[in-house]
Every structure is written in C-alpha cells, then in structure tokens.
Amino acid sequence: MDRLSVRQARQESAIGQQARLQGWVRTRRDSKGGFSFLELNDGTCLANIQVIADAALENYESEIKHLTAGCSVTVEGQVKASGGKGQATEVQAARVVVHGLADPDSYPLQKKRHSMEKLREWAHLRPRTNTFGAVMRVRNQVCRSIHDFFQEDGFLYLNTPIITASDCEGAGEMFRVTTLDPANPPRTDQGEVDYTQDFFDRPSYLTVSGQLEGEVYATALGKVYTFGPTFRAENSNTSRHLAEFWMVEPEAAFFDLEDNMDLAERFLKRIVTDVLANCEEDLDFFQQRIDNEVRDRLGKIVEGGFARTTYTDAIAALESSGESFEFPVSWGADLQAEHERYLAEKLHGRPVIVHDYPASIKPFYMRVNDDGKTVRAMDVLAPGVGEIIGGSQREERLDVLERRMAEQDLNPDDYWWYLDLRRYGTVPHAGFGLGLERMVQFVTGMANIRDVIPFPRTPGNAEF
C-alpha cells in the first residue's frame, strides 16, 4: 500500500489506488445513513480530502464518532471518484487509526475565526490553520526560487557571518552578543567593561547586512549571494518591521548598475512566475480571503518591463504632478512612501527602478558619478508596497572610497580589509538586497510582517 499525501490523493490519477493517508482531522460530519465524513488535511495543500468512514469499521463507535478538529489519524483505503463539489476524489476508509485526540474544550483552534493577534499568541499552533499553511507553502516556494535562480545563473551561495565585530555602515541599532556575566562584568582598571574577557575578546554584534563580506567573495569568485538572517535592534512596533528577518544579497564582480538593474528585474520576475505556476491554490485563497489585489499586483511584475528613471527625473515628475503630498518634494531629500507609490502606481502603473540618488543621503560605499553629486544607487519600487529592493554599484576606486569615508566620519582602520579589496586587483562590482518577509508579504497580501515568518521577533517577543 502506497503512502499518499492529500495533495497526491486529490489527483484524478490516484483513483483506484489503495492508499495510506496520514494527517489531521479538520471536521467530522455524521450522515443519517450510518457513516461519517472526515475532512483530512496534511499540510501538503490547502484543500482537505474527504474520507468516508463506515459504521462497519471496528472502532467506529468507540473512536471515529468522537473525532474532532485537530485529531491525528492514519487512514487506509481506496481512492475513488467523488461526486462532491470541488473534489475529484475521496477515500473510502478500510481502516482508521487514531493517534492523538484534541480535546475540544481546550484545543484553541476550533472552527470559529481567530484574529491574527490571537493566533500570534499561539505561534505553535497557527501553522495548522489554512492561512498559515498557505503562507508557509508560498514562503517555501519563494525561498526555493531564490536558490534556483541564483544557482542556475552561476552565483555561489555564501554564508556571511552572523556574529561580527564590525558595524556595517552604521546601518542601524545592533544587538550585542556576549558571554559576560551581566550582573557583574569584568572591569578594566578604569572601571570600563573589559571586553577582552568576552568570548570574542571585543564587543560583538549581530549582523545588519552581509554585503561587505559578500564583496570579499565577489571580488575573488565572481558572483555570489547570501541568504540568511539579519538583525535590527530598533524599537519599532510596526507592521513592516522585525528585529530578526531573512535577507538575500547578491553581489557580482564586473557588474555595473545597468547589469544590477537587469539582474533585479529578472530575479523578481522569476520568483513571481514560480509562485504563479506552483502555488495556484494558495494564491486563490489569498486573493479571496486576504487581499483581492494580489493577482493584479503579481501580474504587473511578470508582464512587460519595469520602468526606469533617474532620481532627478523622478523628482521633476513629482514636482509637476499636481498631487498634494504630505511630505515636500525637493531634490536632495529621500523619497517618502507616498512619493514612491505615486511613481509606481499612478505615473508608471508598473514597477519602477529609481536610480542615481543624491550622494548625501546614501552610504559611503556607493559609486560616485562623474557629476560628483549623485551615486549609483537603485531602488525597485513595486505598486502596492513601495521599495522592495535596494542596491548599488559599489565604489571600486580606493581614493574616492577613502574620501567618502572621511566625509562620513568613518575610521579607515575599522575597514582595513574592505579597503584592501580596492588596493589589490579592484574591479567594478554591484549588488542589492531583498528582504524575504517583505517579498512574502508582497506575494500573499498579508498585512502584517509578523504573519509571514514562523516565529516573529519584535520588541518584547522572543517566546517559542
């Protein structure tokens, strides 16, 4: 007898097979004819399979008639054609083994709908719901596409360090990592905390980006990408921020900004194409139950090319738009969410890549243009969500890089190894970053970023 997943058993091709299915009961309905219908789910797809359990089964009265939502069972029987709506097949059970019950008086996931807030308190049970099962399957597909895309394109997967003693570009508040006794840390003669006695002999932190280390490997092996956890110790309780999130950062030697924009566009199209092809059932669910603009938004990614505009042209377009923005538009200021949305949604009606931003609002490592005022930065803005990718061509000229670091009061000694990459065999190179959870929000329409990661980490939340 073959083990079949619910997904497999729902295919017409399974009809006639003797099969073993294993999963969790979603509902039980008893017919007047003296048998029961069990809706069985095993997480392999959104839909359940209907199991028909006859009164003749030996444990029908003792066990089957007591099954409730969440109980776990093994069902053996034959897959048959079904006349029921929305299902090609069903299973006529020859045997039902009950593994575990789920007392309906205490099991939280009863049929009523629960708020997303409530489900976050039950982070260990919420993957058993339709919504979180669908989110996780789509998240898995996005991750798979990320790896497939880069691997097929010759990029090497790179694990940059999580614990680091360097503070990349001062990109944000960092978490400290330590083994010192917090109540009574060792002190120097001057009374300062003596970090030479900490595990790494110096203050150490959780990484905010693997970019600088990615550049090390790109300038040795050509094309690399990181895909790992990243951290921000910002005390922001919003629907768009996590203290711990996953980020993808490709970095490629001999890429200029044009190559980088082409790569970002191909990359986003690939992810969305794969999700559309492989997650149809889950997308229907998101479209109907979560966000009825999901499919429209995804269509805009895969149909036609992205618009491209310089920051300077974008500012001019915003100034002459006739819109009244809350934040003033002026050359030299960062684009606000409302500006980004106008550009992507109203002006272009499709994703737009804004490039060549003012140097004054961008980090030191971005390549300075000949005008001396702008740098080779790029942001991909998507309709409905705004910035989804940020990247740049990197400054490969040692003298320019050192000047930019001095302007931003960075100590070159802290970056000796990063500067060595320019000192020895420097090459033009470029890369970008994509936040995995933002991408999963984009393709599912889930409103809160805490609901697209298995166990969200935010201020005050580190349980499970």
Per CB under 8 A, contacts with a copy of itself among 2-21 are 5
Strand ranges for 42-132 from DSSP E:
49-54, 72-81, 89-100
Q: Among residues 372 and 460, whose Cβ is nearest to a copy of itself?
A: 460
Give, for 370, the enclosing helix (H) or strand (E): none
Q: Which of 50, 70, 264, 441 binds a copy of itself (CB under 8 A)?
A: 70
Q: Among residues 124 and 346, whose Cβ is nearest to a copy of itself?
A: 124
Distance in angstroms (rounded) separating the CA atoms of residues 114 and 448: 15
Which residues are CB-contacts of 133 (< 8 A; sequence separation ≥ 6)? Answer: 41, 43, 46, 127
First to last CA, the chain: 38
Give, for 37, the enclosing helix (H) or strand (E): strand 35-41
Q: Among residues 340 and 396, whose Cβ is nearest to a copy of itself?
A: 396
Q: At its nearest, how many Å lie between a copy of itself and the CB of residue 163?
A: 5
Burial of 324: CB neighbours in 10 Å, binned 0-12, 13-18, 19+: exposed
Q: Among residues 42 and 265, whose Cβ is nearest to a copy of itself?
A: 42
Q: Which of 86, 105, 112, 183 binds a copy of itself (CB under 8 A)?
A: 183
Taking CB under 8 A as the criterion, which residues in 385-424 touch a copy of itself?
Answer: 396, 417-418, 420-424
28: nearest Cα among 74, 80, 68: 68
Q: Which of 52, 55, 143, 307 binds a copy of itself (CB under 8 A)?
A: 143
Q: Which residues face 246 on adjacent strands?
A: 229
Displacement of CA 154 from its chain's centroid (Å): 22
Q: Which of 15, 165, 302, 400 binds a copy of itself (CB under 8 A)?
A: 165
Binding mask 234-253 for a copy of itself (x = CB under 8 A): -x-------xx-x------x
Q: At its nearest, how many Å lie between a copy of itself and the CB of residue 320?
A: 40
Cα radius of gyration (the chain): 27
Determine the interface stretch with a copy of itself among 56-64, 193-201, 295-303, 383-391 (rule: CB under 8 A): 193-201
The answer to whether the beta carbons of residues 442 and 234 sit under 8 Å apart is no
Q: Which of 13, 151, 238, 288 binds a copy of itself (CB under 8 A)?
A: 151
Residue where the block lists tokens 């949305």 = 341
Taking CB under 8 A as the criterion, which residues in 200-229 touch a copy of itself?
Answer: 200-202, 204, 206, 213, 216-217, 220-222, 228-229
Number of residues that bind a copy of itself (CB under 8 A): 103
Q: Among residues 90 and 198, whose Cβ is nearest to a copy of itself?
A: 198
Taking CB under 8 A as the criterion, which residues in 267-326 touch a copy of itself?
Answer: none
Q: At its nearest, how many Å lie between a copy of itself and the CB of residue 96?
A: 14
Measured CA angle at 393 (ends 390, 397), to 5 deg: 145
49: nearest Cα among 94, 17, 16, 79: 79
**Cα separations (Å) of 73 from 63, 68, 101, 106, 342?**
11, 11, 9, 19, 52
Binding mask 42-61 for a copy of itself (x = CB under 8 A): xxx-----------------
170 binds a copy of itself (CB under 8 A): no
Q: At its nearest, how many Å lie between a copy of itself and the CB of residue 280?
A: 17
Binding mask 347-386 for a copy of itself (x = CB under 8 A): ----------------------------------------
Taking CB under 8 A as the criterion, which residues in 83-122 touch a copy of itself?
Answer: 99-103, 106-107, 109
Q: Which of 58, 199, 280, 349 binds a copy of itself (CB under 8 A)?
A: 199
**Cα separations (Å) of 138 from 52, 318, 450?**
30, 35, 15
